Structure 1
Amino acid sequence: MTDQVMAAIDGSQFSEGVCDYAAWASQTLDAPLTFLHVVDNHPQTAEADLSGNIGLGSREHLLEELSQLDEQRAKVAQEQGRLMLKAAKERAMEKGVADPATRQRNGTLVETLEELERDIRLLVVGKRGETAHQASEHLGSNLERVVRTLHRPILMVSEAFRTPTKVMLAFDGSKTTRKGVEMMAKSPLFNGIPCHVVIVGAETGDNRSQLDWALATLREAGHEAEGAIRAGEVEETLRRYQEEHGIDMLVMGAYGHSRIRHLLVGSTTTTMLRKASVPVLLLR
C-alpha cells in the first residue's frame, strides 16, 4: 500500500496523540492509515552476562532457563504490541477512519521504517519513546536517527490532539524550506489554516524578497498568509512568535546549511523539537 500515513506507536505517553494526529492527517489527506508497532528484541540497554558466575553443575540448566525467559519476554512484548495496535485501530475508527491497517514487525524502528519508506507519505511519531518518560527535554535517540534516515515528512507529536488552527513555517530561503512553502501551498493538510512564515535574521533586501515570494506562493494557492522578519536568537525568536500568535503547529526543515548541523539533525531543529509544546512537521 503506497502513499499512506504511517503512525509508529509504542507504550509511551504520546501514543494517544500519535493516533489522533494520524487519524486527522489520514482524513485530511484522503490517504490510507497504517499503525506500526516494532518489537525490538535487541534493546540498547544490555543486560549483565551472569553466565560466568554459574557453577559447573547448574550452568547449562540456568542458561536454558534464561533463554526461555528471553523467549517469554519477546512473546509478552508481541502480545502487548498487538493489543496496542488493536486499541489504536479502534480509536481511529471512532474518529471516522474507514479501515486503518496494522503492522507488527520485529527489529529496530529505524531499520523497519527504512524498509517501508517507499510506502510512506507522512510518518507520525511521538516526541519520545516509552523508555524516556522521565526526561522532559530529552529527544529520543530513535527519533533523531529516524529523522536522519528517512526522506519523508515526519510529524512529531508532543501533546494531546488539537485540530490545528494556525501553522508557522520557520523559513530561511534554503532549498528545503522553499520546498516547504510549495508543499504547504498545495497540501490538503493546510486547507483553510492561516499560514505564518517567519525569517529570523536582519531586514535585508534578500530576506524581504524571499519572504515576499513565500507569501505570494501561499496566497496564490488560496491561503491566508502573513509573515515577519525578526532579529534575534533563532529558537527563542521563533518560540516568542509562536506564543504571540497562538501557533499550534510548526513546520521546519530538518537540516540547516552547515555540514556540522547536518550531522546533528540541525542544532536549531533539535532544540525546537526538544522544547516544542505543539506538533512539529519536519521536512526533508
Structure 2
Amino acid sequence: MRLALLFSGQGGQTPEHWRQVDHGVAGELRAALLRALPTIGEGRLASPEMLARNRIAQPLIFVQQMMSWHRLRDRLPRPICAAGYSLGEMAACCAAGAFSASDGLALCAERAALMDAAAAGEHGMLAVLGLDEALVASLAAEAGLAVAIRNAPRHLVLAGPRSGIVSISDRLLAAGASRLVPLAVQTPSHTPLLAGAAVAFAERLAHMPDARLAFPVLGAVDGTAARTVRPALAALGRQIATPLDWAACLQSVRELQPDAVLEIGPGNALTRLFVELAPEIPARACDDFRSDDGIVHWIESCAG
C-alpha cells in the first residue's frame, strides 16, 4: 500500500478545530502549547478573527495536525512521502522525524513571531482563480502585491499589504477572474517582505542535528524531495520568503504513484487541488470522516 500525506496550511481553521485541540491535547504537547499560548484554556481563542492571527493560528494548526498524526500513524502503512502547504511543511517534517512534536510547536511559535516582526502593518492573502499568471502578476505588482503561491496554472494566491488587496479586487474581477477568496491569514507569506524572517528562521534551524527521515518530505517551493533532516530544514527556512509552486509539489506526489493520498489538518482544500490534478488517484481529507476508524477503513479499501 503506497500512501502519500498532505498537511494543510493556514486558512481552513475553524473554532471547532480549536475546541478539538483544547479538549484533546495532553501530556508534553499540552505543556508545550500552554507555554506558547497561555490563554488557550480561557476560551478567548475561539473567534475566527483570533484564529486568523499568525501567532495563534500557526501553533494551533500544528498541534491539531500532530494530534491526528499521532492517533493514526501506528494504524497506517508507512508513507512513501509527505508534503506540507506553507505552515503544513512544518508538520510534514515533524511526522517524518525531523524534530519532536513539542520542539516543532515551539518552532512554529517562533516562526510566527519572526514573520509578524518582519512585516509591520496590515497584510493579507487573496486567492485568484480564472486568470493567466502573467496578467495576475502584472496587476499584483502595480498594487504592491506579489504572487505567493501557484496552486494551478489559473489558481494563484497573492500576498502583501491589505490596502493593495482592497485596491486590486475590482480590477481582477473586471479582467475576468472567476473567483476571489480572501484567506484567513494576516501575513504576506512567501514574499520578499518576509526575507528577514526567512534568514532568522534558517539560522535557528541550521544547528539542529542531521539524520535520515522516516520518509521523504517534498518541499512546497518546488516539489524537491528531502530524505535527510538538513535539506528538509533548509527548505523550511527558504519557503517563508519564496513563492510556493504547490502545483509542482502535487505533480511530484502524483509521479510517485500513490494508491491513496490523505490530507491531515483543517479543511480539504489540498485534497480538492490534488483531485483536479490526478482524478485517477483516491484522495480524501481527515475532515471528511467522522472517526479515525473511517479513515483507516478507507485507506485499507484503496489497497485493493
**TM-score normalised by L of structure 2:** 0.30
**TM-score normalised by L of structure 1:** 0.32
Greater radius of gyration (CA): 1
Between 1 and 2, higher relative CO (CA 8 Å, sep ≥ 6) is seen in 2
